[in-house]
Amino acid sequence: IKKQQQDVLGFLEANKIEFEEKDIAANEENRKWMRENVPEDSRPASGNPLPPRLFNDSRYLGDYEAFFEARENNAVYAFLGLTAPPGSKVGVDVSHSNP
């Protein structure tokens, strides 16, 4: 989980995309928010959804696998719901766990 989180954060930082990290390990409110905002069809068969999960405001974008696939296909800005060109600053939220 930590490696995936670092991968997402590193990409956002390298591309100067503003984001807000929401630590779900140390903050029960963030954990509850993430669990409530991950759509039913994107939750695991059992247990709770695990980070990293990406949101644009409260709109769920996907998990690490979806982010990775978008990055491999050079479609990260579309995945993030951003129309701004690379280098622009546009905000997204990243839920994460700090072990």
Closest CA to 60 of 22, 32, 94: 94
pLDDT of residue 97: 66
Q: Domains, the chain, ranges and CATH?
A: 1-80 (3.40.30.10)
Q: List CB contacts of 7: < 8 A, sequence separation 6 or more.
A: 64, 68
DSSP assignment of 15-32: TT--EEEEESSS-HHHHH
Q: To the nearest 5 percent, what fractions of the chain are helix, strand and coil?
A: 40, 20, 40
Compute CA 22 distance to the chain's CA centroid, rounded to the nearest angstrom. Answer: 10
When pLDDT is cut at 50, 70 and 90, the band that residue 89 belongs to is very low
Kindly report, residue by residue over 28-80, the tens digit of the pLDDT: 999 999 999 999 999 999 998 999 999 999 999 999 999 999 998 888 888 99
Neighbour-count burial of 52, counting CB atoms closer than 10 A to its CB (0-12 exposed, 13-18 middle, 19+ buried)? buried
